[in-house]
Structure 1
Amino acid sequence: MRKHVFVTLALATVLIGAFIPPLITGFLGREGSKTTATQMLQGTSPAYNLEGLKRFGNYDELYRFLEKALAASRWYPGLVIASLDLLGAPRGEGGSGAGSQQASRTNVQVEGVDEPDVVKTNGELVIVASGNKVFVISTGERVVKSVIAFETGVKGLFLYEEKLVVFTESYGYYYEAVESTQSLKPPLGVPELRVYFYNITIPEAPVLLGEVSVSGYMLGSRLLDKYVYLVANTYIYEPIIPYVNGRPVPLETLVAVDQHPDAYTVILAVDLEELVYATYTFLVRSGGWLYMSMRNLYIACERPVTFIEASTVVLKAIAERMPPEEKGEVLNLLNEGSLDKAYERVNKYLSSLSDDVRQKLLDEVVSEINKEPMSDETTFYVFNVNGLSVSLQGSFTIPGLLLDQFAMEEFGGFFIVATTESIYEVRAYFYPALSLVLYERGGGVEYSSSNVTGTLHIGWSVIDTGNNVFVIDLESLNVTGSLRHLAPGERIYSARLIGDVFFLVTFRRVDPLFAIDVSDPGNPVVIGFLKIPGFSEYLHPLSSDRLLGIGVEEGGLKISLFNVTDPVNMSEIFKINLPSTWSLALYDHHAVTIHSGMQLVLIPFTRYDGGGASSGVLVIKYGSDELRVDAMLPHYSCVRTIYVGNELYTISPGLVKVFSLETYKELLQIPLLG
C-alpha cells in the first residue's frame, strides 16, 4: 500500500463550483399544528459539472453498483489475527440572537458558526432540551412558559431570532408506509432524524412552522447566518437508499464519489427565513467529523486499516509468485471483488507446497509488504456553501486519524489538520489442518490424523504511532507543507489554532505542548515545546497571550494557565489540581462557558470521595498570571452553565438553578416538569 502525504481520489477532477442540483421544496406541515405556507424556490436549474463522478440513470443501476461495492466488504474467512492497539484508541464527538441583557452563547470552534447544543439562550429566553422534551423558560419571570414534547429524544437546538430549531433522532426506525423503489430497500432499522421549526415569539404557545425528516445518523450540524446545515450518514449494509420526508432521495441529487463506499452522506440545507430546503446525497466513506468555516463545509471520513485491506495486499503479493495461469486467475478475482474465491485459490496453492517452500514464500511476501508499512488514512470532502447552494470542490487524503473537530481549522486560503498515525505491519501464517478420524478397535476408541488442506491466516498489528500536521492549499487541495512523526509513540489529545500558531498536545506519560508556526504554509515549524505532568483535553484562548488548558493529572481534574506571549518560550504559569474530580468539559467543549467580562471560567464537575460523590459548577476566576477557584456551586448532575445579565443559570436534566454572579448565592430553582 502506498504511504504518501497526499492521495488524489476521483473527486480531484471536480472543478471548483461543481455541484449537484438540489432538491428544493417546502416543509411538510404537521396535522393539527399551525403552519406557515411556503413556496418552492423559483428560477432556472443551476449549471453544474459532474466530470469524474458517477451518476445513475435509474435505481436498478444504483442497486447493481451497491451490490458490487458490498461484495468485498462481506468477506471474513475463518480466524483472524486481531489488530493490536499499543496505546488505546483516542477518544471520540459534532449563534443565539442577542437579547436585552448580556448573555452567554454556546462555546463554539469558529466565531459566527453556531453549533447545536442542549441549551440555548438569547437573554430573554432559556431553552433547555431534556430527554424528549424542550422547555422554554422566561428569564424575566423565571418560570417555564411552555413545554414541547416529542416522541423521541432531542439531539440538539438552535435559536435564530424568533425561531427555534429542534433535532430529534429515533433509533430502529422502520419507515412504514413510505414510498419505495422497485429494487432498493428503505433503510430498515436506521435512525430517522427529524428537524422541527417553531416560532416562539409567544413563549407560552410555540407554533410549529414545519418539519423535515432525513434517514441516518447525525454526523453534525451548523448554523451560519440564516441557514442550517445538517449532515447525516446512512451506513450501507445492503442495497438501500436514504429517505427524505418519507421518499427516496431523487437520483438527480445523488452521485458516487467513491468506488467502494460504505455510506450515504446526505447534506440538508435549510433557509430559516423562507422555510425551504435543499438536499444533496453522496456515496462516500462514512464520515467521522464535521468542521465548518464561514464559507466551507468539511466532512472527514476516516479509514482505519481493515482486515480486508491487509488480506488483499497479502493475496496480491502471493499471486505474483504463483504460476502465470493461476496468478492471472487470482488477480482477476481480486479485481472483481471476489476475495473469498481468491482466498480459496491461494489457500489451495499454498497447501500444495512443501513446508519449506511455503514458509519461504510467506516470509518473502511479509518482508516485501512491510518495507512500506500500512497506515490509517482520512479523506476530507470539501464543500463550498452559499445559502442553499452546497457545491463539491473536491477531496484530499492524508495519513492518520483525527482526535476531534479542533484538530482541523481553516485559516486564510489554507486548511490545517493534525492526525495521529498508527503504523501497521501485516502477518501471514499457514497452519496445516489435521483431520481426526475416529474408529473402534477391540472395544476401544482410537484416533488417527492425516494432513488435508491447511489454512492461511492473515492479520496485522500496530508497531508504532506518530503525529502529523498537514497544511492544505484550498485552491488546489494539495498538501503544501507538513510535519511528520511528532512525538513517536504518543497520541494527540488536544489542538487549537490561535492566530498563525497551532498548539498541539500529545500524551503518553507527560504532556508535551507543541507550538507550531504556520505563518509560512509551505513550511510549518515547531517553534516551542513544553513538557509538564498530565495532559490537556481541551485548549481555549483566554486572550492573545494566555491559553487555558482543561485536562487530567494523576487521575484528577487539572486546570492550567499557559503564557504563550512568546510561543518559543511557553510556560505553565498557574495550575489548579482537583483530585478525584471529573468534568464533562473534558469531552464536550459545549460544557465550557467563558465570561470574559468578569474573567470567569464555568464548568460542571463531579467529585468522588470516601463518602460518595458531589457535583455542581466550578467557578474559576482568571487573571493574567493566576487562576482561583471562586466557588463550587452545588447542583446534582449539572451539564451546562449559562449567564444572563448578573445571574448564573446551572442546568441539569431535571432542574435549573439561578445564582447571583456577584455573591454566588442561590436565588431560586426552576423544576423542569411537564
Structure 2
Amino acid sequence: MKRAFALLGAVCVCLSGCTADKPRPAPASAAPQPAPALKLVAFESCDDLLTGLRTAAQEAVGPWGLGGVWGGVTRLNGATDDAARAAGGAEAKGAAPGAETFSGTNTHELGVDEPDLVKTDGKRIVTLARGGVLTIVDAAAKRVTGELNLTGAGDANGKRAATAMSLLLSGDRVLVLGYDDRAGGAIVPEDAHMPMGAQVTLVDIAGTPKVLGRYTTDGALVDARQVGSTARVVVRSTPRLRFPDTSNLKDDEARLAANRSAIAAAPLSDWLPRWSAEDAAGKQTNGQFDCASVSRPERYSGTAMLTVLSFDLGGPALGGGDPVTVVADGETVYANGPSLYVANDQRWRVARPIDTAKRAPRFEPPRTQLFKFDISGAGKPRYVASGEVPGWLLNQYSMSEWDGNLRVATTDANERGEQTSSSVYVLKQDGGRLAETGHVGGLGKGERIYSVRFIATLGYVVTFRQTDPLYTLDLSDPAAPKVVGELKITGYSAYLHPAGAGRLIGIGQEATERGRVQGTQISLFDVHDPAKPTRLAQHQVPKSSSEAEFDPHAFLYWPQTGLLVVPLFQDQEAGALVLTVGDKSVAPAGTIRHPGQYTVISRSLVIGGTLWTVSGAGLKANDAVTLAEQGWIAL
C-alpha cells in the first residue's frame, strides 16, 4: 500500500517541511544529541492561522514556487518507503477452539488492522482486480460471488473517474481507499469548488455489493489504521496557491519577490482542504475544514497540512470524517490501539539550497517530527503531543509504544549527509510534549538502518553497508536503553518477524563481504539470550528478490505449522516461495506459480487447510501441507 500512496504524495513531499532553522547536532561519530521537545501550540484565531501560514509559506517559497528548483527531494535513505501484543503483528484468527482459523493481514500491532490489497474473514476473500473491481470470493466454494466496479464510467477519453488501491474490512462492510482520478495530478484543480484527491468508499457486501457512500478530500492518502469498526485515515494536503508567471523576470530575487507577494494575497481558503460526501442515493454534501479546529506545533510549515479522518464502518454513511488537522507534513503512520503517531522526517531539507543569493546548497542534518493522536475512543481523535528526534525513519517499524513509552529508531548524518550512524530514542508524553527519557547511539557507524523490530522491552536493529550487524537492545529501563548483543554476518534482513519465544525470522538479501547483494535470503535467528544472538539457519535463492523485503504485507508466517510464504522473482519467473520453519531450520517446501511467466504473486493467506495466493491474474488454492492444487479463480 505504501508504494501506491507514495505515487499519490510524490508532489506533496516536495512542497512540505518546516520553515524554522534548527540547531545542528554534532557529527554522527559523536554521541547523539538529546531530542528537543516540540511544543504543541494552538492558534488564537482564524486570522492568526492565516498570518502564520502566509509567513511560513513565504519563508519556504523559492524563485520557482514551492515545488521548483529549490524544493527538490533528496533522500539519503535508499529504502523503498510484536505473536501476542508484546510480539506485535497479526496472528491467526478464529473463534472457539477447534473452529477453522485463518490468517489476516500481516500487521505491526495485534488488533490494529492496516489497509491491503486483500482481506478475509475466514469465509470470504475480498480483493481488488483490474485496477478497481471489488471482488468477493467464497473460500469454501472457491468461486466468485460478487463484483463491483469502483472506477466509474470514465470520460470521453476513457479516463477512469476513480482508482481503488487498498481495503479495510469490518463485518459486511468494506472501506476502499483510493483517489479521484479527475485530479490528473494537477496541483491546482480546474474546478475550485470540488475537492480532488484522496477518496474512500464504503461498500456493503452482505449481499450483492453496493456503495453506501463516498468521501473525497484534497490531498494524498498517507496511510490508515483500523481498530474495531473505526478507521482512521491520514491525509496530507498542500495549499492551492496560484503563483504568477515569473519566467520573464530578470533574476531569482525578482521571481522570489513576486511569489511572496502572491502568498501574501492568498486567502485562508487556499490552505484549508475541501471535502465532499456522497450517500447511497447520490446526494452530495460539500464543505471545507473548519479553521478553528486546526492546530500547530511550535515550529511548522505553511506548505502542508496533516489531517486524521475518522469513519465508522458500521454506520449508515461515511459522514464528514470528523477531521483533526495539524499544520505539518507527515509520511509514516504507526498505531498500537490507543495511540496513533504520524512522523515527518523532512529528508527533503537535507539538500535544500536555502541561500538563494549564494546559489549554494546548505545541508541540514535530518530531524524527524512526531505527532501523537489519542484514538482510544471510537469518536473524533485528539491531537495530544509532539516531539522531535535527530535522523530519519526507515518505516513504521521504526516506532513502537510500550508501557506509555515511544521507542524510535533513526539514522542520522552530519551536515553533508555523511558519517551515518543510528540511534534508538525513548520518548514519553509530558503534557503536550513527547519528551526524551533516554537514548542509545553509535549503531552501525557508516551504515544505515535496514530493519527494526521492537518486542516488549527488547529491540532489534539491523544496519548494513557491507556486513549486517544485528543489534539487540535492552529497553526495560526507558531512561537507560542499551545495546546488549551484536551479530555480524554477510547480507542483511530488510524485515524481521517474531517466530515464538527466542526466535526471529529475517528476510532480505545475502551479500558478499564487500556488500554486493546475491539474492533473497530467509534467516532464522536465536535471540533467546539477547547478549548472544545467533543465526540458526538460512535459505538463499540466488539472483532473486521478494516484495516482502520492502512490504511486510507480502509476508506470511503461519506458526501453527511453521509455514512461511513470500513472493519471489527469479530468472524472469515469478511465484510464491513456500518454506517450512522449524525450531532450528528453514527448509524449502515448493514454489507456487500462477498462469503466465511474469505473473507476480503479491499476497498469500491461510484459510483452514488451504493456502491461497493472490495475483493480478487471479487466486489459486493449494493444500497448505502438500501444496496440491485445489482450484484456480481467474480475475
Whether the TM-score (by the shorter chain) exceeds 0.5 is: yes
Match of 1:667 in 2: 630
Q: Secondary structure at the match of 1:568?
A: coil
> Which moves more between the two structures, 99-108 or 402-411?
99-108
Do the aligned residues in 2 keep the contact of 1:549 with 1:560 (CA within 8 Å)?
yes
- What amino acid is the match of 1:489? G
Match of 2:174 in 1: 164
Match of 1:244 in 2: 275
Per the alignment, do residues 307 and 510 of structure 1 end up closer, same or farther by CA in structure 2, a change over 3 Å counting? closer
Residue by residue over 1:604-646, the C-alpha shift from the partner in whole angstroms, topping out at 9 and shown as x without a partner, is 11111xxxx2221111101111110011112231111111111
- What amino acid is the match of 2:173? K
CA distance in 2, matches of 1:305, 1:126: 40
Per the alignment, do residues 659 and 408 of structure 1 end up closer, same or farther by CA in structure 2, a change over 3 Å counting? same
Per the alignment, do residues 423 and 124 of structure 1 end up closer, same or farther by CA in structure 2, a change over 3 Å counting? same
- What amino acid is the match of 1:390? P
> Which moves more between the two structures, 256-265 or 401-410?
256-265
Q: Secondary structure at the match of 1:115?
A: coil
Q: How far has the Cα of 1:54 moved from its partner?
A: 1.2
Residue by residue over 1:228-276, the C-alpha shift from the partner in whole angstroms, topping out at 9 and shown as x without a partner, is 1000001236243211214221223323434433211121111223345
Per the alignment, do residues 83 and 393 of structure 1 end up closer, same or farther by CA in structure 2, a change over 3 Å counting? closer
Do the aligned residues in 1 keep the contact of 2:447 with 2:464 (CA within 8 Å)?
yes
Answer yes or no: is 1:269 the counterpart of 2:310. Answer: yes
- What amino acid is the match of 1:6? A
Do the aligned residues in 1 keep the contact of 2:295 with 2:327 (CA within 8 Å)?
no
Answer yes or no: is 1:217 the counterpart of 2:220. Answer: yes
Match of 2:57 in 1: 70
Per the alignment, do residues 626 and 261 of structure 1 end up closer, same or farther by CA in structure 2, a change over 3 Å counting? same
Answer yes or no: is 1:402 the counterpart of 2:402. Answer: no
Per the alignment, do residues 88 and 462 of structure 1 end up closer, same or farther by CA in structure 2, a change over 3 Å counting? closer
Give runs of aligned pairs for residues 126-275 of structure 1, distance below 5 A.
126-130=125-129, 131-151=131-151, 152-171=162-181, 173=183, 180=193, 192-202=197-207, 205-236=208-239, 238=241, 239-245=270-276, 246-257=286-297, 258-275=299-316
Give runs of aligned pairs for residues 285-324 of structure 1, distance below 5 A.
285-304=328-347, 306=349, 311=354
CA distance in 2, matches of 1:295, 1:277: 22
Match of 1:109 in 2: 108
CA distance in 2, matches of 1:83, 1:127: 39
Q: How far has the Cα of 1:473 moved from its partner?
A: 1.5
Answer yes or no: is 1:650 the counterpart of 2:613. Answer: yes
Question: Aligned match of 2:570 in 607, 620, 631?
Answer: 607
Q: How far has the Cα of 1:91 moved from its partner?
A: 1.1
Match of 2:379 in 1: 388
Answer yes or no: is 1:414 the counterpart of 2:414. Answer: no
Residue by residue over 1:552-588, the C-alpha shift from the partner in whole angstroms, topping out at 9 and shown as x without a partner, is 0132001000001101011001011110111110111
Q: How far has the Cα of 1:67 moved from its partner?
A: 3.0
Question: Aligned match of 1:634 in 582, 588, 593?
Answer: 593
CA distance in 1, matches of 2:588, 2:36: 49
- What amino acid is the match of 1:383? F
> Which moves more between the two structures, 61-70 or 411-420?
61-70
Question: Aligned match of 1:472 in 427, 450, 455?
Answer: 427
Do the aligned residues in 2 keep the contact of 1:55 with 1:254 (CA within 8 Å)?
no
- What amino acid is the match of 1:165? L
Q: Secondary structure at the match of 2:337?
A: coil
Q: How far has the Cα of 1:55 moved from its partner?
A: 4.7
Match of 1:54 in 2: 43
Q: How far has the Cα of 1:663 moved from its partner?
A: 1.9
Q: Secondary structure at the match of 1:306?
A: helix
CA distance in 2, matches of 1:634, 1:606: 11
Identity of aligned residues (%): 26
Under a length normalisation based on structure 2, what TM-score does the superposition of the two structures give? 0.77
CA distance in 1, matches of 2:39, 2:389: 15
CA distance in 1, matches of 2:410, 2:35: 13
- What amino acid is the match of 1:291? Y
Q: How far has the Cα of 1:653 moved from its partner?
A: 0.9
Do the aligned residues in 1 keep the contact of 2:148 with 2:210 (CA within 8 Å)?
no
> Which moves more between the two structures, 193-202 or 598-607?
193-202
Give runs of aligned pairs for residues 405-554 of structure 1, distance below 5 A.
405-424=396-415, 461-475=416-430, 477-554=434-511
Under a length normalisation based on structure 1, what TM-score does the superposition of the two structures give? 0.73
Residue by residue over 1:587-614, the C-alpha shift from the partner in whole angstroms, topping out at 9 and shown as x without a partner, is 1100011111111111111111xxxx22
CA distance in 2, matches of 1:404, 1:256: 24
CA distance in 1, matches of 2:72, 2:446: 17
Q: Secondary structure at the match of 2:419?
A: strand
Match of 1:429 in 2: none
- What amino acid is the match of 1:248? Q
Match of 2:4 in 1: none
Q: How far has the Cα of 1:374 moved from its partner?
A: 4.5
Match of 2:323 in 1: 280
Aligned residues, how many? 525
CA distance in 1, matches of 2:625, 2:42: 60
Q: How far has the Cα of 1:647 moved from its partner?
A: 1.1
Q: Secondary structure at the match of 1:406?
A: helix
Q: Secondary structure at the match of 2:103?
A: coil
Per the alignment, do residues 656 and 544 of structure 1 end up closer, same or farther by CA in structure 2, a change over 3 Å counting? same
Question: Aligned match of 1:595 in 558, 580, 584?
Answer: 558
CA distance in 2, matches of 1:410, 1:193: 28
Match of 2:253 in 1: none
Do the aligned residues in 2 keep the contact of 1:70 with 1:237 (CA within 8 Å)?
no
CA distance in 1, matches of 2:213, 2:46: 32
Per the alignment, do residues 229 and 55 of structure 1 end up closer, same or farther by CA in structure 2, a change over 3 Å counting? farther
Per the alignment, do residues 308 and 74 of structure 1 end up closer, same or farther by CA in structure 2, a change over 3 Å counting? farther
Residue by residue over 1:32-83, the C-alpha shift from the partner in whole angstroms, topping out at 9 and shown as x without a partner, is xxxxxxxxxxxxxxxxxxxx3115436xx65554332221222259x99999
Per the alignment, do residues 569 and 75 of structure 1 end up closer, same or farther by CA in structure 2, a change over 3 Å counting? same
Q: How far has the Cα of 1:670 moved from its partner?
A: 0.5
Q: Secondary structure at the match of 1:260?
A: coil
Q: Secondary structure at the match of 1:71?
A: helix
Do the aligned residues in 2 keep the contact of 1:504 with 1:514 (CA within 8 Å)?
yes
Stretches of structure 2 lacking an aligned partner (at least 5 in a row):
1-21, 26-32, 82-89, 152-161, 242-269, 277-285, 512-517
Residue by residue over 1:118-174, the C-alpha shift from the partner in whole angstroms, topping out at 9 and shown as x without a partner, is 000111110111211111111122111111112222121111112111112134517
Q: How far has the Cα of 1:98 moved from its partner?
A: 4.9
> Which moves more between the two structures, 575-584 or 259-268?
259-268
CA distance in 2, matches of 1:295, 1:84: 33
CA RMSD, 1 decimal: 3.0
Which structure would you say has the larger Rg?
1
